[in-house]
Structure formats: structure tokens, C-alpha cells
Structure 1
């Protein structure tokens, strides 16, 4: 049985007037209906009443929500629209990046964004591209000034390495830290282990600049830093990738500035020679084998089937069910192509859009009805206040109107949620039906990573029994399903292929 998705609901209104007039309860109810339609479990409601959207990241409710995302307490957040999450583009990008890193979903009902759907995942791609562009623009401007400042001997920002300090605009030795930095090289030359060197420094009572204990990582970084031998390097590193990992720039871009040394060049070269030899002896681990349908092939008992060692077969250890990797890949590709070619995209999307428009018309009629009721209630109140209606007559007319109003207040967000669902399903189906068919035409020239991207978007699971294979595609149900038989080209047994579709 699939694990029920756990979500939170985000509600923010920016002023006291909005709290009163733009009902948070309405937004919450709408979000709950949407979650209910997907069989999601609502775990938390994060409510920020009368809070400006200019900056919400540090709000206690925002921090509580992010903590729940990081801990896995919730795996998605539902809100009425992006402007309710954050009006600052910077904070919106930050939220999106955190959710992407944690593998959590964002669901914006007004913008029809649901990152748990294929089309919705494009949102993360777009947001990431925007963030990357913004970072590159800033980085380009900064990078252009770095070499010039470095050659002039000016600070490029950040702290001086342990053993040195900035005194005004001068880079000088820190007389308190320098002896400890020199001792580090001497201990490493003797012990020849980074961890042992760190432990010995800590045992002797020495600490880093911020008062923490030395670690093997800190020791390694400081041993590699050539500043200690009188050569301060600048413009020699950069960050790369989403994890902001530091890497060396080409040596031609480095700027070397002479500075006061702490140790002799000979001692520095001896220690770094030891480090070079140790790193050369380490064998990097080879990449794990990756197959087209890895993670999607399931045994009928519910166990995920894996390819063990070099067998080239998916196998279930519990049931001993086995199938060749080559066979299941070929079967999947043949039936994927047959399915995609058999869909009349225009008819399918037209029918889906017609159903969507019908729901929108119903919502429009319902909202108009509520407006009329609200107007009639206001008129009754005015008549009661000026004495034109007796108390009994007022109650007689007001009570059924109020009951009807309460009913519509339940129906309207429910209709809005259903429209949200249909909108997102329509967009998802369009993306899948258009892009997947186009991409399949290029299947033969694609890399494994590109093929896997298609599989991950449109495949729910591939279930294997002793005689049958059931391929379940994970998007809205097309007009018809198909069932065929196929002879395995390598083993000669008959496989009854049943392709089903999960809406």
C-alpha cells in the first residue's frame, strides 16, 4: 500500500482588513478539499494573519514549516497562490530551493502549480533556472573585479586564514595563532595523519579561531594553504553545483601575492608531499550500475526487484521471480511507443477541457448566487434596523438565507479545489502527451539519463508475476487501455502484457 502523502496548509493575509475580508478559513477549506481529492493527509496549518509578504522567511510559523519539511513531518505545502507564500522574489526562490533539496512539493492553487505532477515539476526547473541566472549575473560582476583587487593586494572578502589577520588594509601575521599553525605542520610531519594531528592539537588545549576543536578537515585545509610558506593565493577557487562545493580554478587564473611566512617552504613541501601520496593511494569508487527501469520493477508480492551483481536480471529474493533486463527494457519501449502513438491528443485534451469549463461555469453560477444571497441578507438587516420588519418576520426570512449562505461557503472552495485539480491534470497530460511522444522519436540517440527522465515522469510501476507484466503509467487516464501478448526473444516463454493507467 502506498504511503499517504503528508502536507501542510499555508495561509497568509497581509493586513487586518484582509484578515477580516479575505477569509483565511476560505483558503484553508479550499486547500483541504484539494488535499482530500488527492488522498493527502493534512498534518499542519501554518497561519500568518496580518503579516506583510515583504519578508516572511524569519517568521516563527515559516521557521516551523521549514523545520517540518526538513524533518519529513510534511512532504508538501498547499497554498492559494505564490503571492501568499512570499511576495519577495528572493524569498520565493529560497523557499523553492529548500523544497527542491528536501524533495518536497509546492502546490499553488491559483497558478495551477503542483510539483507532485509532471507539469508541476517544470516549476522547479524554471525557478532553479531563474535562481541560477540571478547567481550567475551577480557572480559575473564579482568575478570581473576579483583578479584586479587580488593583484593590488586588497582583501577579497572573508576572514584571513588561521595564523593571519587583516590589520586595516594590511595582511599580517597573527602573533597568537601563528605558533599553533606552525606546530600543526610539525605534528603532521611526525604523525602523518590529519586526524591524529587534530587530536594532538586538541589534547594540548589548542582551539580554532572560533573556539571549536580542530578536525581532520580543518587540518587538511590549513596544511594545503600555501600562505604559511609566504605565498598568499587569491582568485584560485570557485563554487560549483547546487551543493556549493569549492573547486580549484585553472592555475593560470591564480594570483600569487608574497606575504610573511610562518614556516619554511621546505616544511610545507614535505607535508604536502605526504598528503599527495596518501590521496594517490585512495581508489575512487566506481559508479553504481544504473538501469532504465531501476526502482520501478516490482514483484507481485510488492517487493522491489533489483539487478544483483552481474546477472543482468531483475530478481525478487522472496519469490524467486526473475526477468532479463534486456527483455523488460524492450517490452517497455515497444508498448510505450504503441500506447503513445494510439492516443488522439486533441480529442483527449478537448474532452478534459470541456469538463473543466463546465466546472468553471458551475463555480461562476454558485458565486453569483452567493452574491445575491449576501445582498438580500443585507437588505433584511437594513429593514430590521429601521423597524420595517418585526423580529419574527426577520427571523423567518433570515434563517433560510443564512443556512443557504453557509452551504455555498462550503461548496465554493470545494468547486475551486476541483477546478484546481482538473487544471493541473490537464496541463500535466498536455506536457506528457506532447513531450513524451516527441522525446520517444529520439529514443535511440538519447543517453540513459535522458531516457530515465521520461520513465520517471510517466511511469508508476512495472509489476512482474510468473506469467504477466503490468505496466502502470502515472498520469491521467487516456481514452482506452491496451492488452497484448509478447514472446520473450531470449527465453521463448509467453508474457501477457497488461498496460494500465493511473489517474
Structure 2
């Protein structure tokens, strides 16, 4: 049985949550009911008591949540509304980017955002665009000054390379580290192994600047660094993407600043020639699938079918059943066409909206009923205090009202969670259905990666029999599936 998705519930308590109807307990119950509706599992509840909405990122509870996220303990976070996660747009973008980078989901019940759904994933797309725009704005202002500072030999941020240090804004040799840096080149030239070089340095008692043991990765980076031969490179890299991956800039943008050398140019070039030779021997291109339906086509005997030869056929190695790749692609395209033509977005959406409207009406009446009962409770208390109601009479009237309020306290967030679930599913389904109507017309114009991504999203199975091919496509609604059978009667024949 597939493991359930593990999620956390985020409850941030502030001064505007003192009213009972907006209590932390109410928000937690609502979130729990939503999680149950999705058949997920609540792994942890994060409570930020009396915390300002201006900044929460560095709060211990927020850090605990992020640690659980990065370790894989949770793969999603449910909260009542975006303002409860963070009121600062900048901090909200930070949270969203972290979750997107970790492949996890955010669920905001009030805004009907669930990034595990197609419509909800648009939220991540928009957030990423906003964050990228903000980064570009900052980057464009900084970029102009970088080459000028680099040519002047000024520090551009970050530490000096191992063996060097910054002194009065100039890079100079670090007398303690430089001998170790030089020894690294000498050891590598002798053994020609990065891992062996690291081990020898560690065995001799040497450590990196932060006290860690040397690794083959550190050795590789330092061996390639030109600073050791007296040529410090500046403005030659930049960070891109969500993961802050460092890439090399075009060579014409590099700035080479002379500095004191630790080793000779000859020693540096010998070591780097060895590194390049080793790299060229290891470089191998991975095999890229050239077939759209690879990995999905199976024989009726249960064996996966592969394209083994230049004949361009999916073949079962057990029973030798086969089908041409071109025929299989054509069949899939026709099934997709028939499936998409059967979709009636308006009818489906109207049906869901009607069901949601009924629940929303019930929620409204239940909320009003609870308010009336609370007022009645408040009116009874002065009568008891003044003596107009004796103890027994007061209890007979008051206790049933209290019991009913407690029942409503339980049923209202549960009903609200049902509406949250159905509203989010409706938004997601509506988006997908509308997009799907134009999918077939665009199919022939799509690139291979785009088609493959769609196939991976909607295809449940493809089973090849002796004279039939069954294609199972996941229905675009949350709860059902559609199976289309194609009886092939073309110009080819399966072998007997």
C-alpha cells in the first residue's frame, strides 16, 4: 500500500485571533478535516504563539518546520490563509520558493490554493516569476559595479581562496595556509588521485579553514583555482536558478587580477592537465529515450515492452508480442483525441458548484445558529447572577445550549474543510479541463519533452494484446478514471 502524504499544520496565533470563532483550535480542526479529505496524514502541528506577522522565518518553530521539510518528514504544509503564513510579501516568496525547491506543497484554505493540484501549481509559477523579477531588479543594480570593483582589485564578497586572506581590502598570502595549499599540488602530482590527496593531507593533520577534513571535492576545486599561480579570477561566475547554482560567465567578462603566487605556473598546469585528462575519460553521455511512450507499454502477460532493434517496434521478450512505435503513437493520439472531445467542462463545473453552494448555505445557517446560541448563553448569565433563575432551572436551560454550541464548534470547521476541499478541486479541475480542450489541436506542434510530460501526467497504462490495445488515461476530475479501448484494424498484423 502506498504511503500517505505526510503534512504539517501551521498555526500562527496573533492578537487578532482572540475571538472564539477565529480561535487556533478552529483553524487546526479545519486543517485536519481537509487533510483527512485528501487522505493525507498529519505528521506535525507547528504553533507560533503570539508572534507578529511581520517576520516569522527565523522563529524556532518556523526553523523546526523547515528542518522537517528538508529532511522529508513532511512534504506539505496546510494553513488557514496566506496572512497566517507570512504577512510580508518577501517572506511569503521565500517560503514558497523553499517549498518549490524541495518539491513540497503549500495549502492555503482561505485562498483555495493547493499546489498539489494543477491550478495550485500556477501559484508556484507566479511566485517564482515574482521572485525572479525581484532578483533581476537587484542584480541589475549590482552588476554594473562588479567589473569596476574587480579591475580595481577590490573584494566582491566572500572569503579569500584557501592560502590567502584579505588585508586592508587587498588579497595577500596567508602564511599558515599557504604551505598546505602548496603541499596539495605536490601530493596530487605524485599520486594523481584527488581522494588520495585529501586522505594524505588529513593524515598529516591538516584541515580546511573551518576545521573540516579535506575531501576530493575540495581538492578538485582548489587545484583548479588559478589564484595559487598568481592569477586571481574575478567576475567569472554568477548564481542562477532556485538552487543558487553557480555557472561560469562568458570569458570576455572575466577580470584577471595579478596576486602573489604560492606555486609555479608550471606546477599548476601539470596538475590541471591531469585533471582534464581524467575528466575526459569519465565523460559519457547518458542515453536519452527517443520514444514517447517508453516505459508505459506493457504486454498482456505483464511484461514491459521495449524497442530492442532498428525495427522500431515495442516487443515483449517473453511472448514476442510486438507493435510498431509509429502505430502505437498514432493509437495513443487517437485515444487522446476521443477522450478530450468527450470532456464537457461547463456541465461538470456546474454540477460541482451546485454541491458547493448547498454546503456553503448550510455553513452560513450553522454559523448564524451558533451566534444566536452564544447570545442566548450570554443573556442567561445575568439572570442567574441576579437570582431570577435558580441553579436547577439555569442548568436545565444552559447546559443543553452549551452542548449544542460544542457540537457546532466541531461540525462548522468540518463543513468548512469539505467546502475548502471541493472548492480547491473545482478550481483545479476547471483549469485543467479548459486547457485540455485545446491540447489535441496543439499536439503535433509540441516538442518531444512537452508531449512526454503530458503522457507522464495522464497515462495510467498501455496494454498490448494480440489484436487490441487498451489505453488507460487518468480522468482529469479528482475522483474517477476513464478507460478507452482501441480495436486496431490497420494495415499491420501481430505475429502469431
**Which TM-score applies when normalising by structure 2?**
0.89
The answer to whether the 8 A contact 1:343-1:478 is kept is no
Once the 2 structures are TM-superposed, how far is the Cα of residue 133 of structure 1 from its aligned partner?
2.0
Tell me the alpha carbon deviations over residues 15-66 of structure 1, each in whole angstroms, 9 at most, x when there is no partner.
3963866311111111121122222222322222222233333333333333
Q: Which residue of 2 aligns with 1:128?
A: 128
* Match runs of 1:101-500 below 5 Å: 101-289=101-289, 291-293=291-293, 305=304, 307=306, 326-457=326-457, 459=458, 461-462=460-461, 464=463, 466=465, 469-476=470-477, 484-487=485-488, 489=490, 492=493
SS for the counterpart of 1:238 is strand
Give the match for residue 60 of structure 2: 60
Deviates more, 1:82-91 or 1:470-479: 470-479
Give 1:263 deviation, angstroms: 1.9
SS in 1 for 2:444: helix
1:234: Cα distance to partner? 0.7
Instruction: Out of 175-184 and 58-67, give the one that drifted further.
Output: 58-67
* Residues 149-191 of structure 1 deviation map (CA, whole Å, 9 limit, x = unaligned): 1111111111111111111122211122222222222222222
Kindly state the Cα deviation for residue 114 of structure 1 after the two structures are TM-superposed. Answer: 1.0
Please state how far the C-alpha of 1:304 moved relative to its aligned partner: 9.1
Q: Relative to 1, partners in 2 of residues 1:306 and 1:98: Cα closer, same or farther, differing over 3 Å?
A: farther
Query: Cα RMSD (Å) of the superposition?
Result: 3.0
Deviations along 1:325-380, whole A, 9 cap, x unmatched? Answer: 54544333212222222223223222322222222222112211111111111111
More deviation, 76-85/240-249: 240-249
Task: Say which SS state the counterpart of residue 120 (structure 1) adopts.
Answer: helix
Please state how far the C-alpha of 1:390 moved relative to its aligned partner: 2.0
Measured at CA, do residues 477 and 454 of structure 1 come closer, stay the same or move farther in structure 2, by a change above 3 Å?
Answer: same
Query: Which residues of structure 1 form unaligned runs of 5+?
Result: 494-503
Equivalent residues of 2:314, 2:323 under 8 A apart:
yes
**CA pair 10-478 structure 1, distance change in 2 beyond 3 A:** closer
Cα shift at 1:111: 0.8
Contact 1:195 1:215 in 2 (8 A): yes
Say which SS state the counterpart of residue 18 (structure 2) adopts.
Answer: helix
**Range moving further from structure 2, 343-352 or 325-334:** 325-334
Change (3 A) 1:390 1:291: farther
Contact 2:239 2:246 (C-alpha < 8 Å) held by counterparts: yes
CA contact (8 A) 2:112 2:420 kept: yes
1:110-148, CA deviations, whole angstroms, 9 ceiling, x for partnerless residues?
Answer: 111111111111122222222222222222222221101
CA distance in 1, matches of 2:206, 2:79: 51
**Which range moved further: 98-107 or 143-152?**
98-107
**For 2:414 and 2:315, how far apart are their aligned partners in 1?**
45
Q: Deviations over 1:207-251 (max 9, x none)?
A: 222222222222222222222222111101112333323222111
Contact 2:240 2:246 in 1 (8 A): yes
Flag the 1:217–1:21 CA change in 2: closer, same or farther, 3 A.
same
Would the aligned equivalents of 1:428 and 1:475 in 2 still touch at CA under 8 Å? no
Summarize the Cα distance change of 1:56–1:300 in structure 2 as closer, same or farther, 3 Å threshold: farther
Corresponding residue for 1:499? none
Matched, 1:23 2:23: yes
SS of 2:52's equivalent in the other structure is: coil
Indicate whether 1:8 and 2:31 are aligned: no
TM-aligned CA deviation for residue 447 of structure 1:
1.1
The answer on whether the counterparts of 2:10 and 2:77 sit within 8 Å (CA) in structure 1 is yes
How far off is 1:305 after superposition?
A: 4.1
How many corresponding residue pairs?
491
- For residues 477 and 157 of structure 1, what CA distance do their matches in structure 2 show? 50
Match of 1:40 in 2: 40
Residue 432 of structure 1: CA displacement?
Answer: 0.8
TM-aligned CA distance change 1:409 to 1:142, over 3 Å: same
Residues in 2 aligned to 1:289 and 1:474: alpha-carbon distance in whole angstroms: 26
Give the drift of 1:297.
Answer: 5.8
